[in-house]
Amino acid sequence: MHRKIPATMATQHPDNANAPYWKKGSAFINSADELRECYLNFDDLGCQEYMWDWEGKYVDEGIVDKLLKEYYDFFRRKPLGKERFLTLRIPRMDDRRNYPRIARAFMTLMTAEDLAAELGMKHMPVFEIILPFTREARTLVKLQKKFALATKFKKQVFTSSKAPGGDIQTIPLIEDVNNLVGSRKILEQYVRLHKKAFGRKPAHIRPFIARSDPALNAGMIPATIAAKAALSQYRGFAAESGVGIYPIIGTGSNPFRGNLRPNNLGRFMKEYAGVRTVTVQSAFRYDYPRGMVRNAVKKLNEGLRKGKAMAFDKQDVKNVRELNQVFARHYFETVLQIAPDINAVSRFVPPRRERLTHTERFGYGRKIGRHLMPRVIPFCAALYSLGVPPELIGTGRGLLEAEKRGLLDWLEEKYLFLAQDLREAGSYLNRENLESLAGRGRGWRKIIEDVEGIEGTLALNLGPAKTEHFLHRNLTGNILLKWGAGKPLTEEIEETARIRQVLG
């Protein structure tokens, strides 16, 4: 390898319950704050990479110029593109309305390269782009070809450019369980197409495993076992192809979204062994003591590279596909039925970043069936605020069916901390709320079946266990009463989030 693979990627996911330690007052982080945030995440917290997110949010296109100008001494010691990394996530390419933003992202890369050349830097400061919703390798190569054309055009028009004209690398972000289970094919196709287009194999690939959106669309268990199946496939493909494979996983702070927290590193690194980069999102960085966060980032930077992915054979992959269908069916049907209630409560979830709305030109939502759902953070926040953790939905019925199919023992063997994750999430269950909500429709009644199924198959007792859980339960009871009375809920939702140490 001719480059450092970063272990910790700070992101702009808006899941923090509290204000950042570097900002007094509001927990809202506007686009003007993000320059300073990026620098502090590098220097103070020790994160090695920062995702500059162009997908569905406002961005500062002059980020590299401003970073190098404002914090030149730091980046002279820790060069951007060598010791610290800024990685762009662009909008999806299959929507032509996104091309202006993709073009501006290209300009950011090219002008950053020019500035680096003027400062005597020998490498590109920004050279990777994350491509969301990747389903096939053609889009990855297409993006690289378009950047090469843009660079050629720039040199023809602006002949004074001193930049070396480096290539970009593309990171496939894979966001649904079926594509994750079959994602080795995407890598195989990418290596083949890359060699055809550029005359050589890629030096390495950083496949990006989404954890939140697969859970939003199929439930917690399919998202988890699909991610682990993907890690196994990447391990095998790296050995056979000779191409370095360095997986990224996008995890949040609750079990539904991956359960990466500063106080949960041991479990996480065992569960997702084989990952080389993790996203440390806003809640991870700002909802725990600063010293704890620094230590956790340091441990991840040092320890992630030591893990080895669990091996899945053909029968294991078959089991993953079978169980994904089982759990996703129960989850999907239930979410469809309770979607109007989730949407109604999610409107009170406070924003944390300057995201574009669903109705704006470059915004988008997450659609489940005919319902345009909130994104995963307000989705989780709404359900937790009602006292019904999303981890439970479809899970109990799925476990019962897995037991009937003779696959429960297999699932517990592969999902190492299944019972612990469900016990943890279940601590925020408000049974009284769930029984009251059951009067609103069949979907809520099915979640009662899920609670019973989880407790029966895994011998768990769900519900509050510690003082903070009981406090959370009392607040969710108040939220349900206020919602029924047509009163605003934002203050109580924020209070429950501070107890959980994550918004959603």
- Looking at every residue in the chain, the average pLDDT score rounds to 92
- Which pTM value belongs to this model? 0.95
- Nearest-angstrom CA–CA distance, 450 and 331: 10
Q: How many CB atoms lie within 10 A of CB 444?
A: 21
The answer to whether the beta carbons of residues 301 and 337 sit under 8 Å apart is no
For residue 292, the tally of other CB atoms under 10 A from its CB is 12
Interval 111-148: pLDDT, tens: 888 887 788 877 889 999 999 999 999 999 999 998 88
10 Å Cβ neighbour count for 232? 21
The 8-class DSSP code of residue 31 comes to G
Instruction: Compute the average pLDDT of residues 42-47.
Output: 98
State the pLDDT at residue 448. Answer: 98
The SS3 of residue 256 is helix
Which range (43-52, 53-62, 221-230, 458-467) has the least confidence?
53-62
The answer to whether 27 and 19 have CB atoms below 8 angstroms apart is yes
Residue with tokens 């996911």: 13
Report the percentage of the chain scoring pLDDT > 70: 93
Residue 166 near residue 207, CB atoms below 8 Å: no
Residue 363 confidence (pLDDT) above 50: no
How far from 326 is each of 15, 110, 141, 421, CA to CA, in Å?
Answer: 29, 47, 35, 19
What does the pLDDT look like over 196-227, one tens digit per residue?
A: 999 999 999 999 999 999 999 999 999 999 99
Cα–Cα distance between 398 and 393 in angstroms, integer? 9
The β-bridge partners of 355 are: 57
Tens of pLDDT along 13-25?
999 999 999 999 8
Of 54, 28, 33, 57, nearest in space to 356 by CA: 57
Out of 215-224, 364-373, 468-477, pick the least confident: 364-373
Domain extents for the chain?
A: 8-306, 314-500
What CA–CA distance (Å, rounded) separates 216 from 256? 8
pLDDT in tens, 476-497: 999 999 999 999 999 999 999 9
Tokens standing for residue 160: 């004074």
Whole-Å CA distances, 209 to 82, 132, 275:
24, 10, 9
The stretch 348-368 carries a mean pLDDT of: 63
Q: Which residues of 31-47 are buried (b: 16+ CB within 10 A; e: fewer)?
A: eeebbbbbbbbbeebbb
Residue reference for tokens 């808006």: 14
What average pLDDT does this structure show over 25-53?
96
Give pLDDT, residue 361. 28
| Range 105-110 average pLDDT | 85
Residue 153 pLDDT class (50, 70, 90 cuts): confident
pLDDT at 94: 66
Helix (H), strand (E) at residue 8 = strand 8-10
Q: What integer is the mean pLDDT of 23-32? A: 93
More confident residue, 499 or 58: 499
pLDDT of residue 1: 54
The class of domain 8-306 in CATH terms is alpha beta
Q: Tell me what the mean pLDDT of segment 19-34 comes to.
A: 94
Q: For residue 440, which phi and psi values (nearest 5 degrees)?
A: -85, -15
Kindly report the length of the chain.
504
Q: How confident is the model at residue 160, as a pLDDT?
A: 53
Q: What is the per-residue DSSP string for 263-326? A: T-HHHHHHHTTT--EEEE-HHHHHSS-HHHHHHHHHHHHHHGGG--PPP--HHHHHHHHHHHHH
Query: Residue 159: what pLDDT?
Result: 59
pLDDT for res 95: 63
